[in-house]
Structure 1
Amino acid sequence: MTPPPDGTLAQRKRQLVADELTQAALTLLARDGFDAVTVDEIAAAAGVSKRTFFRYFASKEDVVVQFLAGLGTAMCEELAGRPAEEPPSAALRATVWRSVDACAGHADRVLRVVQLILRTPALLGRFLERQAQWREELAAELARRLGLDPATELYPQLAAGMALAAFHTVLQRWSDSDGTEDPATLTDRAFTVVAPSLDAIPVPTSGTGTGTVPTT
Structure 2
Amino acid sequence: MPWRAPRYHRAVTTRPESTLAQRKRQLVATELTEAALQLFALKGFDAATVDEIATTAGVSKRTFFRYFASKEDVVVQFLAGMGADMRADLAARPAGERPSEALLHAVSVPLAACGDHAERVLPVVRLILRTPSLLARFLEHQAAWREELAEELGARLGRDPETDLRPRLAAGMALTAFDAVLRRWSAGEDAVATAAPEALIGEAFAVLAPALDGTDLPER
Do these two structures clear the TM 0.5 threshold for a shared fold by scoring above it?
yes
1:164 aligns with 2:175: yes
Q: Is the Cα–Cα contact under 8 Å of residues 39 and 50 in structure 1 kept in the other structure? A: yes
Question: Given the alignment, which residue of 199, 210, 219 partners 1:210?
Answer: 219
Deviations 1:53-78 (A, max 9, x none): 11111111110121121111111111
**TM-score normalised by structure 1 residue count:** 0.89
- 1:108-123 → structure 2 map (5 Å cutoff): 108-123=119-134
3-state SS of the aligned residue for 1:150? coil
Deviates more, 1:171-180 or 1:124-133: 171-180
1:194 aligns with 2:194: no
Other-structure match for 1:124: 135
Match in the other structure for 2:64: 53
Could you tell me whether the CA contact under 8 Å between 2:79 and 2:141 is conserved in 1? no
Shift of 1:201: 5.8
Residues 74-93 of structure 1 aligned to structure 2 (within 5 Å): 74-93=85-104
SS at match of 2:19: helix
| Structure 2 residue 22 is matched with structure 1 residue 11 | yes
The residue number in structure 2 matching 1:95 is: 106
Aligned equivalents of 1:108, 1:137: Cα separation in 2: 30
Letter in 2 for 1:154: L
Structure 2 unaligned segments of length 5 or more: list them. Answer: 1-16
Distance 1:144 1:166 in 2: 22
Aligned mate of 2:84, from 73, 91, 113: 73
C-alpha displacement at 1:188, in angstroms? 1.2
Post-superposition CA distance 1:128-147 (Å, at most 9, x none): 11111111111110011111
Structure 2 letter corresponding to 1:116: L
Deviations 1:159-196 (Å, cap 9, x if unpaired)?
A: 11111111111111000023232222211111112112
Question: Could you list the per-position Cα deviations for residues 75-128 of structure 1 after superposition, in whole angstroms to 9, with x for gaps in the alignment?
Answer: 111100011111000111111111100111101110111111111111111111
Name segments (4+ residues, structure 1) moved above 2 Å. 200-203
1:3 aligned residue: none
**Secondary structure, aligned partner of 1:35:** coil
Query: How far apart, in 2, do the equivalents of 1:85 and 1:202 lie?
Result: 16
Structure 1 contact 155–201 (Cα < 8 Å) conserved: no
User: Following the alignment from structure 2 to structure 1, what is the Cα–Cα distance between the partners of residues 73 and 91?
Assistant: 27
Cα deviation for residue 48 of structure 1 reads: 1.1
1:135 maps onto 2:146 in alignment: yes
Number of aligned residue pairs: give it.
201
% same residue: 64
CA RMSD of aligned residues (A): 1.6
Where in structure 1 are there 5+ consecutive unaligned residues? 1-5, 204-208, 212-216
Give the letter for the 2:122 counterpart.
Answer: L
- How far 1:202 sits from its partner (Å)? 3.1
